[in-house]
Amino acid sequence: MRDAQQDPPLETLVAGAGADARAIAVLRRGGRVPGLFWLGGYRSEMTGSKAATLDALGAEYGLAVTRFDYSGHGRSGGEFRHGTITRWLEEAIAVFATTSGPQIVVGSSMGGWIALLLARVLGGSGRIKALVLVAPAVDMTEELMLKGFTRKERRTLAATGLVEQPSAYSDAPYPITRELIEDGRRHLLFGHGIRTGCPVTILQGGSDPDVPRAHALRLLQHLLSDPVTFTLVPDGDHRLSRPEDLAQLRAAVLAHVGAPAEQLSLAFDGPAPGP
Protein backbone atom coordinates (compact mmCIF):
# COMPACT_ATOMS: atom_id res chain seq x y z
CA MET A 1 0.00 0.00 0.00
CA ARG A 2 1.37 3.41 -0.94
CA ASP A 3 1.89 6.22 1.56
CA ALA A 4 -1.39 8.17 1.54
CA GLN A 5 -0.63 10.37 4.55
CA GLN A 6 1.74 12.70 2.71
CA ASP A 7 -0.08 15.22 0.54
CA PRO A 8 1.14 15.57 -3.05
CA PRO A 9 2.97 18.81 -3.93
CA LEU A 10 0.72 21.86 -4.04
CA GLU A 11 -0.05 23.17 -7.52
CA THR A 12 -1.64 26.47 -8.47
CA LEU A 13 -3.66 27.38 -11.54
CA VAL A 14 -5.39 30.60 -12.48
CA ALA A 15 -9.16 30.74 -13.03
CA GLY A 16 -10.80 33.78 -14.55
CA ALA A 17 -9.05 36.61 -16.32
CA GLY A 18 -7.91 40.16 -15.65
CA ALA A 19 -9.19 41.68 -12.43
CA ASP A 20 -11.31 38.55 -11.90
CA ALA A 21 -8.33 36.15 -11.95
CA ARG A 22 -7.76 34.10 -8.81
CA ALA A 23 -5.15 31.51 -7.88
CA ILE A 24 -6.65 28.07 -7.25
CA ALA A 25 -4.73 25.62 -5.07
CA VAL A 26 -4.72 22.01 -6.31
CA LEU A 27 -3.46 18.74 -4.82
CA ARG A 28 -2.95 16.11 -7.50
CA ARG A 29 -1.95 12.49 -7.01
CA GLY A 30 -0.74 10.71 -10.12
CA GLY A 31 -2.21 7.35 -11.04
CA ARG A 32 -4.34 5.40 -13.44
CA VAL A 33 -7.87 6.09 -14.63
CA PRO A 34 -10.61 6.34 -13.74
CA GLY A 35 -9.36 9.27 -11.74
CA LEU A 36 -11.10 10.56 -8.62
CA PHE A 37 -12.14 14.21 -8.71
CA TRP A 38 -13.19 15.90 -5.47
CA LEU A 39 -15.64 18.79 -5.12
CA GLY A 40 -15.96 20.08 -1.57
CA GLY A 41 -18.75 21.88 0.20
CA TYR A 42 -19.47 25.44 1.25
CA ARG A 43 -16.54 26.67 3.38
CA SER A 44 -14.88 23.24 3.36
CA GLU A 45 -11.28 22.51 2.35
CA MET A 46 -9.56 19.89 0.23
CA THR A 47 -7.75 18.51 3.29
CA GLY A 48 -10.94 17.51 5.12
CA SER A 49 -11.64 13.93 6.17
CA LYS A 50 -13.70 12.87 3.14
CA ALA A 51 -11.22 14.38 0.67
CA ALA A 52 -8.32 12.79 2.54
CA THR A 53 -10.12 9.45 2.49
CA LEU A 54 -10.53 9.77 -1.26
CA ASP A 55 -6.82 10.54 -1.63
CA ALA A 56 -5.90 7.55 0.54
CA LEU A 57 -8.15 5.38 -1.63
CA GLY A 58 -6.36 6.62 -4.73
CA ALA A 59 -2.97 5.87 -3.21
CA GLU A 60 -4.10 2.40 -2.18
CA TYR A 61 -5.41 1.41 -5.62
CA GLY A 62 -3.06 3.47 -7.81
CA LEU A 63 -5.79 5.85 -8.98
CA ALA A 64 -5.25 9.46 -9.94
CA VAL A 65 -6.83 11.90 -7.46
CA THR A 66 -7.47 15.60 -7.96
CA ARG A 67 -8.62 17.94 -5.18
CA PHE A 68 -8.75 21.72 -5.01
CA ASP A 69 -9.96 24.61 -2.88
CA TYR A 70 -12.53 27.00 -4.34
CA SER A 71 -11.55 30.66 -4.30
CA GLY A 72 -11.93 32.08 -0.81
CA HIS A 73 -11.44 28.61 0.66
CA GLY A 74 -8.40 26.92 2.13
CA ARG A 75 -5.18 27.66 0.28
CA SER A 76 -6.74 29.31 -2.77
CA GLY A 77 -6.76 33.04 -3.38
CA GLY A 78 -9.74 35.34 -3.51
CA GLU A 79 -12.23 36.57 -0.93
CA PHE A 80 -14.89 34.17 0.33
CA ARG A 81 -17.54 36.90 0.22
CA HIS A 82 -16.94 37.34 -3.51
CA GLY A 83 -17.81 33.69 -4.08
CA THR A 84 -20.77 32.64 -6.22
CA ILE A 85 -21.87 29.38 -7.80
CA THR A 86 -20.80 30.77 -11.18
CA ARG A 87 -17.28 31.49 -9.92
CA TRP A 88 -16.89 28.16 -8.11
CA LEU A 89 -18.26 26.22 -11.09
CA GLU A 90 -15.83 28.08 -13.38
CA GLU A 91 -13.01 26.97 -11.10
CA ALA A 92 -14.24 23.36 -11.09
CA ILE A 93 -14.30 23.39 -14.90
CA ALA A 94 -10.78 24.84 -15.04
CA VAL A 95 -9.34 22.23 -12.68
CA PHE A 96 -11.25 19.38 -14.35
CA ALA A 97 -9.75 20.42 -17.69
CA THR A 98 -6.30 19.59 -16.31
CA THR A 99 -7.28 15.96 -15.75
CA SER A 100 -7.22 13.27 -18.42
CA GLY A 101 -9.39 10.26 -19.06
CA PRO A 102 -12.64 9.33 -17.33
CA GLN A 103 -13.18 10.65 -13.81
CA ILE A 104 -15.38 9.62 -10.90
CA VAL A 105 -16.60 12.96 -9.57
CA VAL A 106 -17.27 12.97 -5.83
CA GLY A 107 -19.18 16.01 -4.57
CA SER A 108 -20.11 16.78 -0.98
CA SER A 109 -22.94 19.14 -0.01
CA MET A 110 -22.54 22.22 -2.27
CA GLY A 111 -20.02 20.13 -4.19
CA GLY A 112 -22.85 17.76 -5.09
CA TRP A 113 -24.70 20.63 -6.78
CA ILE A 114 -21.54 21.73 -8.58
CA ALA A 115 -20.90 18.12 -9.66
CA LEU A 116 -24.32 18.02 -11.36
CA LEU A 117 -23.66 21.40 -13.00
CA LEU A 118 -20.27 20.15 -14.20
CA ALA A 119 -21.94 17.08 -15.70
CA ARG A 120 -24.38 19.36 -17.51
CA VAL A 121 -21.53 21.48 -18.91
CA LEU A 122 -19.61 18.42 -20.11
CA GLY A 123 -22.68 16.88 -21.71
CA GLY A 124 -22.02 13.56 -23.43
CA SER A 125 -18.24 13.92 -23.49
CA GLY A 126 -17.72 10.67 -21.60
CA ARG A 127 -15.28 12.37 -19.22
CA ILE A 128 -17.43 11.65 -16.17
CA LYS A 129 -17.61 7.91 -15.47
CA ALA A 130 -19.85 8.30 -12.41
CA LEU A 131 -21.06 10.77 -9.80
CA VAL A 132 -20.90 10.05 -6.07
CA LEU A 133 -22.88 12.71 -4.20
CA VAL A 134 -22.69 13.05 -0.42
CA ALA A 135 -25.62 15.00 1.08
CA PRO A 136 -26.01 16.91 -2.20
CA ALA A 137 -27.16 20.48 -1.55
CA VAL A 138 -28.79 21.03 -4.94
CA ASP A 139 -30.18 24.56 -5.41
CA MET A 140 -28.98 25.35 -1.89
CA THR A 141 -28.96 29.12 -2.29
CA GLU A 142 -32.70 29.13 -2.93
CA GLU A 143 -33.97 26.01 -1.17
CA LEU A 144 -31.68 25.70 1.85
CA MET A 145 -30.63 29.31 2.45
CA LEU A 146 -33.14 31.93 1.26
CA LYS A 147 -36.27 29.92 2.03
CA GLY A 148 -35.05 29.43 5.59
CA PHE A 149 -34.37 33.12 6.26
CA THR A 150 -36.43 34.93 8.84
CA ARG A 151 -38.19 38.15 7.86
CA LYS A 152 -35.46 40.07 9.67
CA GLU A 153 -32.74 38.26 7.70
CA ARG A 154 -34.52 38.99 4.43
CA ARG A 155 -34.71 42.67 5.32
CA THR A 156 -31.04 42.67 6.30
CA LEU A 157 -30.05 40.99 3.03
CA ALA A 158 -32.03 43.56 1.04
CA ALA A 159 -30.60 46.50 2.97
CA THR A 160 -26.96 45.47 3.39
CA GLY A 161 -26.40 42.65 0.90
CA LEU A 162 -25.17 40.34 3.66
CA VAL A 163 -26.59 37.95 6.26
CA GLU A 164 -24.39 36.18 8.78
CA GLN A 165 -25.70 32.95 10.28
CA PRO A 166 -24.19 30.91 13.12
CA SER A 167 -22.36 27.76 12.05
CA ALA A 168 -22.42 24.38 13.77
CA TYR A 169 -18.99 23.68 12.29
CA SER A 170 -17.07 26.86 13.06
CA ASP A 171 -16.86 29.65 15.61
CA ALA A 172 -17.14 32.15 12.76
CA PRO A 173 -20.61 32.75 11.28
CA TYR A 174 -21.47 31.87 7.68
CA PRO A 175 -21.61 35.01 5.53
CA ILE A 176 -24.34 34.74 2.88
CA THR A 177 -24.33 37.51 0.29
CA ARG A 178 -27.07 38.84 -1.92
CA GLU A 179 -24.79 38.18 -4.90
CA LEU A 180 -24.53 34.50 -3.95
CA ILE A 181 -28.32 34.17 -3.68
CA GLU A 182 -29.05 36.03 -6.92
CA ASP A 183 -26.33 34.25 -8.87
CA GLY A 184 -27.56 30.88 -7.63
CA ARG A 185 -30.81 31.41 -9.55
CA ARG A 186 -28.84 31.07 -12.78
CA HIS A 187 -28.04 27.47 -11.89
CA LEU A 188 -31.21 26.04 -10.37
CA LEU A 189 -31.88 22.41 -11.33
CA PHE A 190 -35.13 21.52 -9.59
CA GLY A 191 -38.27 21.77 -11.69
CA HIS A 192 -36.80 19.97 -14.71
CA GLY A 193 -35.44 16.50 -15.33
CA ILE A 194 -31.72 16.21 -14.56
CA ARG A 195 -29.56 14.19 -16.97
CA THR A 196 -26.01 13.33 -16.02
CA GLY A 197 -25.15 10.76 -18.68
CA CYS A 198 -23.58 8.46 -16.07
CA PRO A 199 -24.43 6.34 -13.01
CA VAL A 200 -25.14 8.31 -9.83
CA THR A 201 -24.70 7.25 -6.21
CA ILE A 202 -26.21 9.36 -3.41
CA LEU A 203 -25.17 8.97 0.23
CA GLN A 204 -27.51 10.78 2.61
CA GLY A 205 -27.63 11.09 6.38
CA GLY A 206 -31.04 10.52 7.89
CA SER A 207 -30.26 12.97 10.71
CA ASP A 208 -28.78 15.69 8.53
CA PRO A 209 -30.00 19.12 9.76
CA ASP A 210 -28.49 21.03 6.83
CA VAL A 211 -29.59 18.97 3.84
CA PRO A 212 -32.69 17.07 5.00
CA ARG A 213 -33.42 13.62 3.61
CA ALA A 214 -36.51 15.06 1.88
CA HIS A 215 -34.19 17.31 -0.15
CA ALA A 216 -32.11 14.33 -1.30
CA LEU A 217 -35.27 12.40 -2.17
CA ARG A 218 -36.45 15.37 -4.21
CA LEU A 219 -33.21 15.15 -6.20
CA LEU A 220 -33.83 11.44 -6.69
CA GLN A 221 -37.17 12.26 -8.30
CA HIS A 222 -35.43 14.52 -10.82
CA LEU A 223 -32.90 11.93 -12.00
CA LEU A 224 -35.13 10.37 -14.61
CA SER A 225 -32.77 8.76 -17.12
CA ASP A 226 -29.63 7.66 -15.27
CA PRO A 227 -29.04 4.63 -13.02
CA VAL A 228 -29.16 5.82 -9.42
CA THR A 229 -28.18 4.17 -6.14
CA PHE A 230 -29.53 5.89 -3.04
CA THR A 231 -28.18 4.97 0.39
CA LEU A 232 -29.74 6.45 3.52
CA VAL A 233 -27.60 6.33 6.65
CA PRO A 234 -30.36 6.53 9.29
CA ASP A 235 -28.24 8.06 12.07
CA GLY A 236 -25.88 9.94 9.75
CA ASP A 237 -25.34 13.68 10.11
CA HIS A 238 -24.44 16.19 7.41
CA ARG A 239 -20.74 15.52 7.34
CA LEU A 240 -20.91 11.72 7.12
CA SER A 241 -17.32 11.62 8.36
CA ARG A 242 -17.42 8.85 10.97
CA PRO A 243 -15.23 5.83 10.18
CA GLU A 244 -18.28 3.81 9.12
CA ASP A 245 -19.45 6.68 6.88
CA LEU A 246 -16.03 6.95 5.24
CA ALA A 247 -16.05 3.19 4.66
CA GLN A 248 -19.40 3.65 2.90
CA LEU A 249 -17.86 6.37 0.73
CA ARG A 250 -14.91 4.14 -0.17
CA ALA A 251 -17.22 1.30 -1.16
CA ALA A 252 -19.39 3.61 -3.28
CA VAL A 253 -16.39 4.94 -5.18
CA LEU A 254 -14.78 1.52 -5.67
CA ALA A 255 -18.04 0.13 -7.02
CA HIS A 256 -17.73 2.63 -9.88
CA VAL A 257 -14.01 2.00 -10.34
CA GLY A 258 -14.84 -1.58 -11.22
CA ALA A 259 -12.51 -3.13 -8.65
CA PRO A 260 -12.67 -6.92 -8.19
CA ALA A 261 -15.38 -8.04 -5.78
CA GLU A 262 -12.88 -9.25 -3.18
CA GLN A 263 -11.53 -5.70 -2.90
CA LEU A 264 -14.90 -4.28 -1.96
CA SER A 265 -14.84 -5.52 1.65
CA LEU A 266 -13.91 -2.20 3.11
CA ALA A 267 -14.05 -1.99 6.89
CA PHE A 268 -11.60 0.50 8.38
CA ASP A 269 -9.32 -1.06 11.00
CA GLY A 270 -8.20 2.28 12.38
CA PRO A 271 -9.01 5.97 12.37
CA ALA A 272 -9.83 7.59 9.05
CA PRO A 273 -6.99 9.55 7.42
CA GLY A 274 -6.98 13.30 7.47
CA PRO A 275 -8.28 15.85 9.98
Q: Convert the pLDDT of each residue in 234-271 to its tens digit.
A: 999 999 999 999 999 999 999 999 854 444 333 323 33
Which parts of the chain fold into alpha helices (H)? 49-61, 85-96, 110-122, 140, 151-160, 178-184, 213-222, 243-257
Under 8 Å between Cβ of 223 and 252: no
Q: What pLDDT does residue 124 have?
A: 78
Under 8 Å between Cβ of 219 and 193: no
Pick the CATH number of 10-139+194-258 from 1.20.1050.140, 3.40.50.1820, 3.40.50.2300, 3.40.80.10: 3.40.50.1820
Residue 18 has pLDDT above 50, yes or no: yes
- What's the pLDDT tens digit per position in 98-154? 999 999 999 999 999 999 999 999 987 899 999 999 999 999 999 999 999 999 999
Give the residue extent of every domain in the chain. 10-139+194-258
Q: What pLDDT does residue 5 have?
A: 52
Residue 13 has pLDDT above 90, yes or no: yes
Q: What pLDDT does residue 69 have?
A: 96
Q: What pLDDT does residue 151 have?
A: 94
